[in-house]
Structure 1
Amino acid sequence: MRLSVPVYQLKRRAKLLARSEKIALHDALDRVARAEGFASWSLLASRLEANPPDRTILSRLAAGDLLLLGARPGHGKTLLGLQLLIDAAREGRRAVFFTLEYSEREARERIRSLGGGDRGDRLEIVAADDICADSIARHLAGSPSGTVAVVDYLQILDQQRHKPPLSEQVSSLEAFALRSGVVLAFITQIDRSYDPQRTPMPGIGDIRLPNPVDLGSFSKACFLHEGAVRFEAIA
Structure 2
Amino acid sequence: MAQMTVEVSLDPVLARMRALDGLLHPRDGVAVFNRVYLEVTRELRERMARGECPEARTAATLAVRFAERYLAAVDAAYDGRRVSACWRPLFQYRRHPGVRPLQHALAGINAHIGYDLALAVVAGCRSLDCAPAELEADFDRVGDTLVALEERIREDLMPGPDLLEVADPLTHLLGAWSLDRARDAAWSAARLLWTLRDRPELAAEFADSLDKGVGLVGRCLLTPAPVR
Q: TM-score range by the shorter chain?
A: under 0.3
Q: TM-score, normalised by structure 2?
A: 0.27
Per residue, is there more strand in 1 or in 2? 1
Q: Which has the higher helix share?
A: 2
